[in-house]
Chains A and B, each alone.
Chain A
């Protein structure tokens, strides 16, 4: 068993020189070496600072309705102009960003929770549980997503759901409809992990199933979960904005990037006042490009097998 001894001696020699890298450190180093990913990260940090801290420094107020200042083009006082109620577009855009980012992240969080749990259960127990869960996943995968979301959005409007609590429903709906991809990936991983030796060890230790799944199996799938989750945040933000644009997502008075763009439905605003709808659109574009760049960087960093 010389192969077992070798790394230990080697370790002793190198230990003085530098500490052994943990997988996370290696991943971090790989991530920072990827220029596009770092640019994406900077972009998303910028968006967060803009949306969450920006409004604090704004001299304007969302309730500053003034007909005198309505529909102003961008100027030194209103950097991005004003809307038909005389409200500052920049401030609205930053507040809308809070909502859009929040919906994107929370919806993904919900999807990850459901997907990871169901995927792990299916992979761990196999047999009938696996069949049932994966059959349900098949059904969800074949559901046409956008139409269903639009119909559900219409249902929310018809049930007269309060506009301020509407975003919570939206998060849940988008989350619940997006769990399948992750469930499949996690299940696949668990299927192979289940057969490895450390699982025999947990068996020998007499651990309960819950502990085996959540303490020993799922932590090993975290790289996959992180990458999929990151990429699906972008998807969730795009979905939310499309729904809000169509008037069935986040509805006014709550601002969101999507419903700000629906100002473009008015032909005059669309033609003559591009400052009403172009800035929020650019925000969506920048955010989703940034998230996709980060997601790709994370994939390269965390999953060396797929490295080109």
Chain B
């Protein structure tokens, strides 16, 4: 196992190099830079050149790549131009807001998907199963921004059930319980949409995996020896159906820390995705590049985690 993990980690190096080249090349294609994006007409050409030299924007692209990549190896992602702080600090400041949204959505979607998945497999082809199937398809096909907008319009603006956006009421200097409930109210809608988006495919996954297990001989044996149906389903079948699903937990990693860009934008949630979208329009390269690499690393680690978890959960699988 240890050997396997080490080998996989080593394999990540060329992949990361490839990713960094692609991402850097794309960003180098963007005409204009942070200085022009800020478009200050009062700034003289010389002053602009001076600033470029300070930020290192005057060097040719390939040199900038090596400087950037070399710094990253030392753990230095550079300074965000827009926030005037190291990229890692900016990420650390905002990523937790995204994490709050992500972790709750993860919890709810897994919970709902498990319950509905089990029951629609248990009562396959029943009315309940058919309704679930249809809902699953709708969830899988939701354009996130449109659903977000619809909910804001009807639930927040028209019915005034929830605040329109943001993470807390501005100007509210509350602490403790009041602050907590305030954030709770603000986070309800975005978490709901995020949950809806991921519940669809998860439910399908649990259903299929449950259907496979239910047909196994040991389930028949369990029934034959007179166990309660509840024990058969939840203890014998469900546990085995969970094994392949554990892999999915690894794939959730980038979603937890990567932020839901479009949803955060719509709900004005101060998460990392929101900041990232702004950085693109501000041409804040160091942050743009640094965070994209961060996302790619999360994906790679997530994939590794998925494989390792699979090996741990199912001893029949040997990782080589």
Taking beta carbons and an 8 Å cutoff, which residues of A are in contact with B?
36, 135-136, 138-139, 141-144, 146-148, 150-152, 154-155, 158-159, 234, 238, 241-242, 245-246, 261, 264, 270-271, 274, 277-278, 281, 284-285, 288-289, 291-293, 296, 308
Q: What's the least CB distance linking B293 to chain A, in Å?
A: 9
Contact of B276 among A147, A281, A285 (CB under 8 A): A147
Residue of A nearest to B21 (CB): A139
Q: Which of A144, A242, A246 is most buried by chain B, counting CB atoms within 10 A of its CB?
A: A144
Contact of B19 among A139, A234, A289 (CB under 8 A): A139
Q: What's the least CB distance linking A252 to chain B, in Å?
A: 17
Residue of B nearest to A288 (CB): B141
Residue of B nearest to A40 (CB): B137
The docked-state distance in angstroms from the alpha carbon of A274 to that of B149 is 10
Residue B15 is within 8 A (CB to CB) of chain A in the complex? yes
User: B143 and A281: CB pair below 8 A?
Assistant: yes
Contact of B141 among A135, A155, A289 (CB under 8 A): A289
Q: What's the least CB distance linking A45 to chain B, in Å?
A: 17
Q: Which residues of A contact B262 (CB under 8 A)?
A: 146, 242, 245-246
Q: What's the least CB distance linking A186 to chain B, in Å?
A: 20
User: A242 and B32: CB pair below 8 A?
Assistant: no
From 29 to 56 in chain B, residues with beta carbon under 8 angstroms from any chain A beta carbon are 29-32
Q: Which of A151, A242, A281 is most buried by chain B, counting CB atoms within 10 A of its CB?
A: A151
Q: What's the least CB distance linking A37 to chain B, in Å?
A: 10
Q: Which residues of B contact A150 (CB under 8 A)?
A: 261, 277, 280
Q: What's the least CB distance linking A278 to chain B, in Å?
A: 7
User: A308 and B124: CB pair below 8 A?
Assistant: yes
Q: Which of B133, B157, B295 is most buried by chain A, counting CB atoms within 10 A of its CB?
A: B295
User: A288 and B15: CB pair below 8 A?
Assistant: no
User: A261 and B146: CB pair below 8 A?
Assistant: yes
Residue B242 is within 8 A (CB to CB) of chain A in the complex? no
Q: Which of A147, A148, A261, A288 is most buried by chain B, counting CB atoms within 10 A of its CB?
A: A147
- The 10 A-B pairs at the shortest CB distance, nearest first, are namely A288-B141, A281-B146, A139-B18, A144-B295, A289-B141, A142-B299, A158-B31, A284-B143, A142-B296, A292-B141
21 inter-chain pairs at a CB distance below 8 angstroms, sorted by A residue, are A135-B14, A135-B15, A139-B15, A139-B19, A142-B296, A143-B23, A144-B292, A144-B295, A144-B296, A147-B280, A151-B27, A154-B280, A241-B143, A241-B146, A242-B143, A246-B265, A261-B149, A277-B149, A288-B141, A289-B138, A308-B208
Main secondary structure of the interface of B (DSSP, over half): helix
User: B146 and A158: CB pair below 8 A?
Assistant: no
Residue of A nearest to B288 (CB): A151
The docked-state distance in angstroms from the alpha carbon of A36 to that of B134 is 8
Residue B150 is within 8 A (CB to CB) of chain A in the complex? yes
Residue B253 is within 8 A (CB to CB) of chain A in the complex? no
Q: Which residues of B contact A278 (CB under 8 A)?
A: 150
Residue B142 is within 8 A (CB to CB) of chain A in the complex? yes
With A142-B299, A242-B145, A308-B211 as given contacts, are A154 and B137 in contact (CB-CB < 8 Å)? Answer: no
Taking beta carbons and an 8 Å cutoff, which residues of B are in contact with A?
14-15, 18-19, 22-23, 26-27, 29-32, 124, 133-134, 137-138, 140-146, 149-150, 153, 157, 208, 211, 254, 258, 261-262, 265, 276-277, 280-281, 288, 291-292, 295-296, 299-300, 303
Q: Which residues of B contact A159 (CB under 8 A)?
A: 31
With A139-B15, A148-B23, A281-B149 as given contacts, are A292 and B140 in contact (CB-CB < 8 Å)? Answer: yes
Q: Which residues of B contact A36 (CB under 8 A)?
A: 133-134, 137
User: B19 and A158: CB pair below 8 A?
Assistant: no
Q: What's the least CB distance linking A65 to chain B, in Å?
A: 26
Residue of B nearest to A152 (CB): B26
Q: What's the least CB distance linking A141 to chain B, in Å?
A: 8
The docked-state distance in angstroms from the alpha carbon of A292 to that of B26 is 32
Q: Which residues of B contact A291 (CB under 8 A)?
A: 141
Q: What's the least CB distance linking B54 to chain A, in Å?
A: 23
Residue of A nearest to B200 (CB): A292
Q: What's the least CB distance linking A47 to chain B, in Å?
A: 13
User: B300 and A142: CB pair below 8 A?
Assistant: yes
Contact of A158 among B32, B276, B296 (CB under 8 A): B32
Residue of A nearest to B300 (CB): A142
With A36-B137, A308-B208 as given contacts, are A261 and B30 in contact (CB-CB < 8 Å)? Answer: no
User: A147 and B261: CB pair below 8 A?
Assistant: yes
Q: Which residues of A contact B143 (CB under 8 A)?
A: 238, 241-242, 281, 284-285, 288
With A143-B296, A155-B26, A242-B143 as given contacts, are A274 and B261 in contact (CB-CB < 8 Å)? Answer: no
User: B26 and A144: CB pair below 8 A?
Assistant: no
With A154-B30, A308-B124 as given contacts, are A270 and B149 in contact (CB-CB < 8 Å)? Answer: yes
Q: Which residues of A contact B265 (CB under 8 A)?
A: 246
The docked-state distance in angstroms from the alpha carbon of A296 to that of B303 is 26
Q: What's the least CB distance linking A244 to chain B, in Å?
A: 10
